[in-house]
Amino acid sequence: ERERAEKERERVEKEREREEKERERAAKEREKEEKKREREEKERERVEKERERQRELQKQWEKDRERQRLRELELDR
């Protein structure tokens, strides 16, 4: 009886250890996924900032071109 109880205790302990390892593995996996999401979000923000910068450069270029055109019209008079 004592031997059976000891084996059961060992089985329960092994099961507890296995569950703990599984929880740790799942926690690491969640952490990894969270870091991946953060990296992706930062990349989206970087890309959006670059697009905005390009739009601003384009607007400035168009303004400068229009100014140059008007200047040339003035000179042609």
pLDDT greater than 80 at residue 2 = yes
What pLDDT score was predicted for residue 29?
Answer: 99
Instruction: Spell out a b/e string for 9-18, using b for 16 or more CB atoms within 10 Å of the CB, else e.
Output: eeeeeeeeee
Cα angle 53-60-48, degrees, rounded to a multiple of 5: 15
User: Structure tokens of 41?
Assistant: 């979000």
Domains held by the chain: number:
1
What pLDDT score was predicted for residue 76?
Answer: 85
Span 25-77, pLDDT tens digits: 999 999 999 999 999 999 999 999 999 999 999 999 999 999 999 999 998 87
Distance CA 51, CA 44 (A): 11
Helix ranges, 1-77 (H): 2-76
Span 5-38, pLDDT tens digits: 999 999 999 999 999 999 999 999 999 999 999 9
Expressed as residue numbers, the domain containing 54 is: 1-76
Phi, psi of 22 (to 5 degrees): -65, -40
